[in-house]
């Protein structure tokens, strides 16, 4: 028996089976929005570009790059840029669906935008990865747990990130299906099984961490609004949200009056930290 342990950091949305928008045979999908151009706005400021890339343990990176037939390569930071691919484990030991109860405490997009509808293409098959997505990770079994970083200060709670663990028949076999029309070829690659207690940067569990964030310490205030690129109409104005966003210091954004005046939900979830390394969300 083998095991894959893979964590997710940044602008990653877990689309749940209860959404009713996933394709047949896909009970859970981790969606990475294409945020590579960043965003400029009066309300949210200038949000720097966020990039989709894999952070990997050395042997795992070597196996993946060599097994990709030239489709994937390491950059100067040792990361593997990932764009235009649907990824899944081809040899899970057990049938799904995955156990995801812990995600109830994540940032729920519909708590803030109740009438949100996801972009067209979220429920397509693996060959129809839409242009607005950097990648999809399809999760058919295993468990998805909620973790958090240590609190940076007494008024700054540690942010959340998620970790997927799945047992496999032998070492994990990953299938990479390219975006339709990209010219790339589907490939499968066997990677080493994740050792017990394996961690990568910041003690995040696993031998693979999928990031959708910046690669430096660029100011990322309000970058969590990029999650709402999943909305068909894009990111609304601040006044269009039903509740105020929590801030890293435990407070909330201003103005807040629109939440109560419109009958929206009360300002809660002050424990959520919204930084690029830990702003995973769920739909619905």
pLDDT for 272 equals 43
| Half-sphere CA count of 42, side-chain side, radius 13 A | 2
**pLDDT value at residue 89:** 98
Determine contact, residues 15/178, Cβ cutoff 8 Å: no
pLDDT of residue 124: 87
Whether the CB-CB separation of 150 and 242 falls below 8 Å is answered with no
Domain, as residue range, for 122: 2-283
- In the chain, how many domains are there? 1
222 with 50: CB under 8 angstroms?
Answer: no
Rounded to whole angstroms, what are the CA distances from 207 to 56, 87, 200?
Answer: 6, 15, 7
pLDDT at 250: 45
The predicted structure's pLDDT at residue 45 = 84
| 152/181 Cα distance (integer angstroms) | 45
pLDDT for 178 equals 96
- pTM exceeding 0.85: yes
Q: What is the full per-residue pLDDT of the chain (284 aa) written as tens digits?
A: 999 999 999 899 999 999 999 999 999 999 999 999 999 988 888 888 999 999 999 999 999 999 999 999 999 999 999 999 999 999 999 988 999 988 988 889 999 999 999 999 999 887 889 999 999 999 999 999 998 887 665 555 567 899 999 999 999 999 999 999 999 999 999 999 999 999 999 899 999 999 999 877 676 777 888 999 999 999 998 889 888 765 544 444 443 343 333 344 333 333 344 454 457 899 99
């Amino acid at each position: 028996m083998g095991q894959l342990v893979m964590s997710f950091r940044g602008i990653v949305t877990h689309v749940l089976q209860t959404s009713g928008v996933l394709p047949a045979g896909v009970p859970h999908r981790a969606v990475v929005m294409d945020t590579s151009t960043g965003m400029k706005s009066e309300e949210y400021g200038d949000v720097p570009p966020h990039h989709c890339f894999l952070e990997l343990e050395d042997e795992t990176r070597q196996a993946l790059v060599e097994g990709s037939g030239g489709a994937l390569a390491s950059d100067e930071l040792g990361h593997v840029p990932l764009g235009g691919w649907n990824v899944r484990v081809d040899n899970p030991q057990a049938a799904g669906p995955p156990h995801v109860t812990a995600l109830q405490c994540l940032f729920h997009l519909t708590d803030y935008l109740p009438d949100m509808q996801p972009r067209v293409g979220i429920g397509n098959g693996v060959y129809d990865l839409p242009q607005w997505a950097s990648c999809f990770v399809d999760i058919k079994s295993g468990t998805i747990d909620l973790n958090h970083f240590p609190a940076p200060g007494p008024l700054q709670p540690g942010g959340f990130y998620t970790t997927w663990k799945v047992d496999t028949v032998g070492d994990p076999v990953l299938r990479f299906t390219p975006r339709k029309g990209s010219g790339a070829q589907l490939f499968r690659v066997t990677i080493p099984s994740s050792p017990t207690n394996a961690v990568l940067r910041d003690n995040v569990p696993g031998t693979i961490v999928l990031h959708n964030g910046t690669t430096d310490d660029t100011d990322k205030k309000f970058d969590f609004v990029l999650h709402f690129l999943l909305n068909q109409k894009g990111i609304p104005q601040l006044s269009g949200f039903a509740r105020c966003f929590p801030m890293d210091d435990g407070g909330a954004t201003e103005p807040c009056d629109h939440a109560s005046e419109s009958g929206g939900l009360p300002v809660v979830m002050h424990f959520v930290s919204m930084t690029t390394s830990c702003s995973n969300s769920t739909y619905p």
